[in-house]
Amino acid sequence: MKKKTAYNNLNDFINELDKAGEVRYIDQLVSPILEISKRTDSESKSAGGGKALYFRNVMGSSFPVATNLFGSQRRIGIALGVNNLDQLSARIKTYFDFNPPKTLKQAFKMLPMAFEAFKFFPRSYRKGTPPCQQVVLKDDQVDLSILPVIQCWPKDAGRFITLPLVITKSLKTGKHNMGMYRMQIYDKNTTGMHWHIHKDGAHYFNEYVQAGKRMPVAVAIGADPATIYAATAPMPQGLDEIIMAGFIRKKPVRMTKCLTIELEVPTEAEFVLEGYVDPQEHRREGPFGDHTGYYSLADDYPVFHVTAITHRRHPVYITTLVGRPPMEDCYLAKATERLFLPMLQTVFPEIADYHFPWEGVFHNIVIVAIDKEYPGHAHKIMNGLWGQGQMSFCKTIVIVDKQVNPHDTHAVLDTLLTKLDISSDITIAKGILDVLDHASPFPNFGSKLGIDLTKRFRNESPRIEIKRALTRKYLLSHDTVKNLILSDVPGVSGCQLMAEKSMEQQPTQNAIMAVSIEKKLNRSGKAFATDILKLDDLSVYNIFILFDKTIDLGDAPLMLWKLFNNVDPERDITIHNGRVVIDASIKGPTDDHFREWPEELTFDLHTNSPLC
């Protein structure tokens, strides 16, 4: 089935979703304070991502609100005009195959050509009044309260614009950037500007800080789906996301000059906020319920002053809700995963495929399948990826052979159970981390974990195999294990054997035990690890993972999410005599973690606390 690629605007896209039966219209009056987000959260976590939601009547505003438009495999395909996301990467790969770059830097420089830049370069609008400027509000007319901006989570600092296309220009090079940075509404004409230190927006902002000049900023809200997606993509610095949008659309994006600043915005935008950021002004922003599933903590960020609001005559306000996966942003992230694979393969042709599990919230773990050719090949890939662009933020890299499908969770788990040698397959390194990582003792910097599950070559140290392959019959009964741990390890409240089905299907080298703990009396994760590893009667179990006692040990996605989010490898992994204990529980000063630990997102204010 041929998909439509070049939507004119957001309404055009919504109409296409409607024809496909992918929109649920809600006519009853709803509040932008939590009610829209509660409904969106429930919908996005339903089977297959649920439906897109269109709220026709929003309290306090005359504009409708659309959410979850990209939140399913089918809808992201409709948005980007493909039946399969790999079709986009195939278009780029075809170009690189004919014009192979020698380095990743060369590959990035060739991207505009791969995107057929001259064909899809943005065009200026020249047909009279642009749709995004059909209504103009300037000076005293500026009032952000006309927008139906939602409050996402109960402990958010206020209402946040969550799908803004923030457009900036380098003071030095004149190059444009379009990024997506949340914006907290402060009052009728100011918002926060939450660009992280590693983002292009922040990089350009620093140029204005050094020059002591105000920075012009334009914010588009709502556009054609390819343009919205492009703002989320981790493009290399200096490459225009609008060209990428044109490549996806197979048609250039029309741009319009702003009225009060020297920037251009997508002509078909629903709303446009024009204004500036003063390099000397910062204000407290946050907390905010983020895509990690936790509240990102409050901090000081630049302030955006709105000098004009323009919009279409009948605009639709588009927003998104992020939180513990699966959510709408998971599908946008999956598009990025597939689109950027051929670029990595230009420098690492041995990479057959890779996969970012949703539970890792896109920066905590990646599984990479390689065509291994020589000793140490897996480590070469680990170190190479930790030095490449946005991949450098990834905390955990698992390397498997190309015969293992990285998207098949069970196949990867089976490989880990049957191959992992704790004494030789685990590497701990250090490097930069995503700003939202909360497990490291230090902001933006910490330890990383590499796991090599590839076959051994000559001149690589052989894996140490335990004396017998484990099956269920070799393991102690659940009650026996529980009694041993409960009686000998203070603070343990329960345990559960993990991956039982895999052990029933084939013998394994490893047995994983999940353990519920409560950190009382200043007992650290290290103390639990020491006590558990002393239990000789449990020597058949060689991997223990510690969780807070509130965690359901039967909920595998929940445990994986906690494991990937809550671990600083250097501090929280204890290895002794081929056995390992991983502390995936909440950390505090007893664990030498003196940063504030964020709260988990929930709409129930009575059951959420970061305290152990």
Distance (Å, rounded) from C-alpha 221 to C-alpha 191? 14
Instruction: Give pLDDT, residue 25.
Output: 98
Amino acid at 380: K
| Nearest residue to 561 (alpha-carbon basis) of 575, 573, 545, 579 | 545
Instruction: Give pLDDT, residue 581.
Output: 97
Is the link from the previous residue into 287 a cis peptide, with omega within 30 of 0? yes
Q: Could you give the count of Cα atoms lying within 13 Å of 304 in the half-sphere of its Cβ?
A: 29
* CA distances (Å), origin 343, targets 99, 178, 252, 461: 12, 20, 22, 32
Distance (Å, rounded) from C-alpha 465 to C-alpha 608? 43
Instruction: Give pLDDT, residue 343.
Output: 83
Digit-coded pLDDT (tens) for 559-598: 999 999 999 999 999 999 899 999 999 999 999 999 999 9
- String of DSSP letters for 468-531: S-B-GGGSPPHHHHHHHHHHHSTTEEEEEEE-HHHHHHS-BS--EEEEEE---TT--HHHHHHH
Assigned CATH topology for domain 348-452? UbiD C-terminal domain-like (3.40.1670)
* Bigger pLDDT: 538 vs 265: 265
Assigned CATH topology for domain 472-591? UbiD C-terminal domain-like (3.40.1670)
Distance (Å, rounded) from C-alpha 167 to C-alpha 229? 14
Instruction: Give pLDDT, residue 104.
Output: 57
Q: Could you give the count of Cα atoms lying within 13 Å of 514 in the half-sphere of its Cβ?
A: 23
Instruction: Give pLDDT, residue 612.
Output: 38
For strands 176-179 and 573-576, give the pairing.
Answer: unpaired
For strands 52-55 and 299-311, give the pairing.
Answer: unpaired
Do residues 100 and 346 lie in contact, with contact meaning Cβ atoms separated by under 8 Å?
yes
Distance (Å, rounded) from C-alpha 86 to C-alpha 73? 12
Whether residue 290 lies in the annotated active site: yes
Instruction: Give pLDDT, residue 504.
Output: 59
Q: What angle do CA 434, 546, 156 make, to 5 degrees?
A: 45
Indicate if the pLDDT at residue 7 is higher than 70. Answer: yes
Once rounded to an integer, what is the mean pLDDT over residues 211-239?
A: 92
- Written as six digits, the tokens of 423 are 């004494």
| Residue range 10-318 in CATH 1.10.3720.10 | no
Distance (Å, rounded) from C-alpha 170 to C-alpha 204? 5
* CA distances (Å), origin 561, targets 282, 323, 386: 33, 12, 22
Lowest mean pLDDT among 124-128, 214-218, 357-361: 124-128
Amino acid at 387: G
Instruction: Give pLDDT, residue 402.
Output: 98
Question: For the chain, what percent of residues have pLDDT higher than 90?
Answer: 74
Mean pLDDT of the chain: 90
Instruction: Decide if 348-452 and 472-591 have a common fold.
Output: yes
Domain boundaries in the chain?
A: 10-318, 348-452, 472-591
Indicate if the pLDDT at residue 45 is higher than 70. Answer: yes
Once rounded to an integer, what is the mean pLDDT over residues 339-352?
A: 90
Digit-coded pLDDT (tens) for 124-168: 998 899 999 999 999 999 999 999 999 999 999 999 999 999 999
Angle between helices 73-80 and 10-19 (to 10 degrees): 130
Digit-coded pLDDT (tens) for 534-563: 988 888 889 999 999 999 999 999 999 999
Going by pLDDT thresholds of 50, 70 and 90, the confidence category of residue 46 is very high
Once rounded to an integer, what is the mean pLDDT over residues 30-39?
A: 98
Indicate if the pLDDT at residue 33 is higher than 90. Answer: yes
Once rounded to an integer, what is the mean pLDDT over residues 376-395?
A: 93
Indicate if the pLDDT at residue 102 is higher than 90. Answer: no
Distance (Å, rounded) from C-alpha 423 to C-alpha 578? 5
Once rounded to an integer, what is the mean pLDDT over residues 8-28?
A: 97
Going by pLDDT thresholds of 50, 70 and 90, the confidence category of residue 88 is confident
Indicate if the pLDDT at residue 240 is higher than 70. Answer: yes
| Nearest residue to 219 (alpha-carbon basis) of 151, 144, 152, 292 | 144
| Global model pTM greater than 0.75 | yes
Angle between helices 328-347 and 225-232 (to 10 degrees): 70
Once rounded to an integer, what is the mean pLDDT over residues 362-391?
A: 94
Digit-coded pLDDT (tens) for 459-496: 888 887 654 455 555 566 667 777 888 888 999 999 98
**Active-site residue (options: 224, 290, 421, 591):** 290
Instruction: Give pLDDT, residue 411.
Output: 94
Indicate if the pLDDT at residue 53 is higher than 90. Answer: yes
Indicate if the pLDDT at residue 107 is higher than 80. Answer: no
Per-residue DSSP letter, 129: S
Once rounded to an integer, what is the mean pLDDT over residues 231-253?
A: 86
